Chains A and B, each alone.
Chain A
Amino acid sequence: MERVAIVGASMTRFGQRDAWVRELLAEAGAAALDDAGVDGDDLEHLYVSNMASGEFEGQTGVPNALAHDLAAQPAYTARIDQTSSSGGAGVYAAWQSVASGASDLTMLVGGEKMTHRTTSEATDVIASLTHPAEYKHGVTLPSFAGLTARLYLDEYDAPRESLGKVAVKNHRNGVDNPHAQFQKEVDLDTVLDSPVVADPLRLYDFCPITDGSAALVFCPESVAEEYAPGGNYAVISGIGGATDTHVVHERADPTTMGGVVDSSEIAYETAGISPDDVDVAELHDMFTILEFLQSEDLGFFEKGEGWKAVEEGVTDRDGELPINTSGGLKSKGHPLGASGVAQVYEIYQQVTGNAGPRQVEADTGLACNVGGFGNCVTTTVLEGSQ
């Protein structure tokens, strides 16, 4: 199987945008093509990660629309929908397309347009992924987070403040990300005094509703130097995808995300590394509690110890294992289909040494993209070419 390289990347500014989904996808796609030094008609495969453009704005058929806008015909196109992990699933599809030999040049563009909807409407579109037995009770993804956070704090004797410190850290990181929705710090008192959304979680424990897009260009490692001279590319050394139960309350331990455990085991095995070898990670902090769960289920910390790592500064940008140097979904924003692509964008920047003021020392980075409330997960390991 071919080793797969990423040789071009881009992301739009995340936030409240006037552009609609077609325009957002085209903006990121054109910039990534430019970054890789190729034209649309050089692409053999073009994937679009998107959860709900039909539901949000009544625009379907987005891959074909993007191919036309970028003059990429006759490239093979497909839309990848895996709810909030559509981006990670798109990375998996793009990796497969090149690794299998089906395509020698593939682009993935993830995007979503959400902010024209009210919070209530957007929350319901996302909650529509739930089982009928859950949906009829009015469950939302934030309420799953509240249920899990209460259990985690109770089981592991973690202080409520530790969740707030995730938000403080990720907002601090987002200040240096020009693409982030919020480039401003928040202090712990602001987080802890913000309005209750899903007790014990408050407004600042949640990511915002966001418009945005991100894109990556993939090719066989054997020809990467043609597109990214000087070794300015990253290699996907490991990738794994997995699912957990659709019905959240049926999991043996509601504080463990089995899809994170299983997908990361595959990713570590294919990369030939252990969690200790990861230098930097982007985790799916749609809610602050998710950073604890993933950091434990990825094997970075023992079960019930993830909160201590945040308290001790281990996951700060200058800590032993920086997590969410981009600001995470919490600060950068969460345009559903774009988020998993933007996570890999950040790791790509880190392992190629192009992260600017956010740069940390990193040869190996990991991105973990979660759909639903851990229902489906993709974990990707990148290594710098040097």
Chain B
Amino acid sequence: MSDNDAAESDGTTEGDSAEPTFEAAEYADGTVTYPPHTVSPNGAERVGTVDLREYEGRVVTWTTSTATPPGVREPNTLAIVEFEMGDEYDGPPVRALGQIAERGEAGRGSDGDEGDGGEQFDVEIGDRVEPVYADELREPGAGIREPESQAWDGFRFRPVE
């Protein structure tokens, strides 16, 4: 699987369930990364995948961007989220960068409503968050990148009530 294929797997369907997964890669040395890479940070080969929908995350940091590129919502609140991988995991932190969800989008890992296209949740450093699927994070083709070169769906984050 290429790096681009790996990126596209974020939000692809799992089996016949048609349920999108938040796919990270697991490697022979036990480490997990998101997005997936060809080998682990230590050079170990990929041996499987981990669905990050199964894990809760905490906000490491966040920003609200008010000057966004073509095809991106404005404003655009983004966060770096670190997943709580459990006591048995001793690899490097597993994190993802993602948009903060809009009020009205559904909960953990679900195929959420479109939301109201309006107000984004407020978050602070340390807040607990969960992933929310969105079928289009930005408008394909509006920016410089070739629309067919990558996937445009994925997971936003919303605070855990």
Contacts and interface: CB of A to CB of B under 8 A. Distances in A.
B34 interface: yes
B10 A120 contact: no
B144 A150 contact: no
Contact of B78 (A120, A132, A143, A151): A143
A197 interface: yes
B132 interface: no
Interface stretch (B12-20, B43-51, B89-97, B106-114): B89-97
B156 to A, nearest CB: 8
Contacts of A250: 33, 41, 92, 95
Contact of A136 (B34, B61, B70, B151): B151
B8 to A, nearest CB: 8
Interface stretch (A122-130, A179-187, A227-235, A291-299): A122-130
A137 B61 CA distance: 15
Interface in B1-27: 3-4, 7-8, 10
Interface of B: 3-4, 7-8, 10, 33-35, 41, 60-73, 76, 78-80, 92-93, 95-99, 125, 137-138, 143-145, 149-154
B81 to A, nearest CB: 8
Nearest to A119: B67
Given A133-B7, A140-B65, A147-B63, A120 B70 contact: yes
A41 interface: no
Contacts, number: 135
Interface in A98-139: 119-121, 123-125, 127-128, 131-139
Contacts of B97: 133-134, 137, 139, 147, 248-249
A124 B78 contact: no
A140 B138 contact: no
B60 A254 contact: yes
- Interface size range of chain A in the complex: 35 or more
Q: DSSP majority for the A interface?
A: helix
Nearest 4 CB-CB pairings of A with B: A146-B63, A138-B72, A124-B69, A132-B150
A150 to B, nearest CB: 5
Interface string A187-210: 000000001111111000000000
A249 B61 CA distance: 10
Interface of A: 55, 119-121, 123-125, 127-128, 131-140, 142-143, 146-151, 154, 195-201, 247-250, 252, 254
A249 B80 contact: yes
A143 B61 contact: no
B144 A55 contact: yes
A139 B159 CA distance: 20
Greatest chain A CB density within 10 A among B73, B138, B153 is at B138
Contacts of B68: 120, 138, 140
